[in-house]
Amino acid sequence: MVNANNVPSNDTTVLNSEIGSICQWVRAKPNNDDSYIRLPVNKTVADYRISGLIFKYYDIANFASIPTVENFTDLYPQNKTDLYTGMLGSDGKFNVNASEGYTVENLHFWSGVIDKEITFPVLDSGFYCVYIAPDANKDTDFKLPVHFRNYHGNLDYATYVYYTIVKWIFAILAVTGAAIFKFHKSSDSKGPQKLSSVEAVINTYVLLTFIPFMLWELSDFCTLYAKNNVFLPYEISSNKSVFLLVCFVFITLNEAFQSYATLLYAMGLGVIYYYREVASYKKFPPEMLRLATALLLVDGAIRLSLLGVKDWPGSISFMGASITVPAKLVYLGLTCATFLMSCVWFILSFKFYFDTKKKLSSSIAQDGSKVKVVSAFKKTSLAIWIVPVVCTLIMTVISSLALYFTFRGVSHSNFKFTPRVEILDSYMNMEIGTRVQLIGMLTSGLEPWVATLISIGAVYLIWAKLSDRSTIERKIE
């Protein structure tokens, strides 16, 4: 089993009277001072004179009295007295005597009283742990942040790998976006009479999907960049809060806008209608645009309200103080409203799909070439709705296989630094936990990229093929 306390987290790591240990993988480079573990101490923590220990977890077998992180975590909240027996010396500090047959003389660790800011330099990569031992006989109310700093920044290993991949994806998409923009600009310069079917679809559905998606991912990327290079994990500031809020707004609204683009396409935008009346396209009906836009505004308002209420403590007052509702109940209601809006988007898209298909079918009698348009419209609709589901299933299978081989490939035989089974089990849990987080981060983070880019690519190929056939037929005629 993987202990949740052993799995690195990108959130702020804070120790208190209920949580007394935290472990994380720290990456270091030779001759580089950028990797460290820092305990920023305020006056409250300093006054408590809490004993602390920072050490590389691989070295735990060298200590005679230091328990595994699992044992420490189990006893710390309610049984500090039992935990401290043997673990602490007569001076109240951690007992760092060596186990029989081992030595601690050449180990890199810190043990002492946390009465000032502690900065522990990390010399080589590995799992590092911070244990604390406040007085078991006193009621303590404190928060002690732990800052794990890697040579590459503040992000943990799994998040940094994802962040690096996203940087390369953005570099590729910058070229793709420039090509689309150039294509869009050149199509406009040809004049309204030269608008082809592929140009109409790119200028409508593709752009309405691609631009919000890029804003969403750009917000996610900026958030990761700021957390890695700008803001400290434990920092609380108005600039950080405003920046992260703006990014979360873009991330929250993306799903609503994707549904909006899908509904507009189902209504016939880019197929029968265009933004204005051009060539063989009618102007998009204002009443349809008002309906879709109204749904977008309602869905966006619900999602933003959900974002605001998510971490709201206690209760929320309405109409002054006459009505008070628990925040959790409001959150549940908004969650249900979001689900209902998803159903509304799907039902309306489904309805207008058949309406548009009917209109296209009725026009075949006047123009036989419309048969190919109907076929392209059907294929595109399938691509929009089916490709994301297929991509999710594929990524789930890949994730499951990766997890299977991860659990199968890690055993005691991989770690032979001690014969003590409980320590090998604990270290193995950490190793598996890090790999599980990496697999989860990559599959969940890259899934939207894969689904969106394949969907857009499929839509482009479908309509480009139709445009090529139409061009060839006109040349033959």
Whether the CB-CB separation of 99 and 63 falls below 8 Å is answered with yes
Q: Specify the pLDDT at position 232.
A: 83
Residue type, position 46, single letter: A
pTM of the model: 0.79
Write down the pLDDT at residue 356: 92
Residue-by-residue DSSP string for 166-203: HHHHHHHHHHHHHHHHHHHHHHHHT-GGG--HHHHHII
Closest by CA position to 217, among listed 454, 470, 477, 448? 448
Please give the distance of CA 21 from its chain centroid, rounded to a whole number: 25
Is 95:88 a contact under the CB 8 Å cutoff? Answer: yes
Residue 280 DSSP symbol: T
Query: What residues are paired with 38 via a beta bridge?
Result: 119, 147
Asked whether the beta carbons of 148 and 28 are under 8 A apart, the reply is no
Tokens at residue 76, please?
């710390």
If you count DSSP H runs as helices and E runs as strands, how many of each does the chain have, helices first?
11, 12
Residue in 422, 428, 423 with CA at minimum distance from that of residue 407:
428
The H or E element that residue 54 is part of is strand 50-56
Residue carrying structure tokens 């348009």: 373
Q: Where are the alpha helices (DSSP H) in 143-272?
A: 157-189, 197-201, 207-225, 238-266
Which phi and psi (to 5°) does residue 50 adopt? Answer: -80, 135
pLDDT at position 6: 35
User: For residues 345 and 453, what is the distance between their CA atoms, to the nearest angstrom?
Assistant: 22
Strands 13-15 and 144-149: antiparallel
| 126 beta partners | 26
Mean pLDDT, consecutive 10-residue stretches, the chain (477 aa), reads 35 82 92 89 91 93 91 92 91 90 85 94 93 89 92 91 88 74 59 68 86 84 88 76 77 86 93 83 91 94 81 56 66 89 94 91 64 86 90 91 83 68 87 89 88 88 71 39
pLDDT at 210: 85
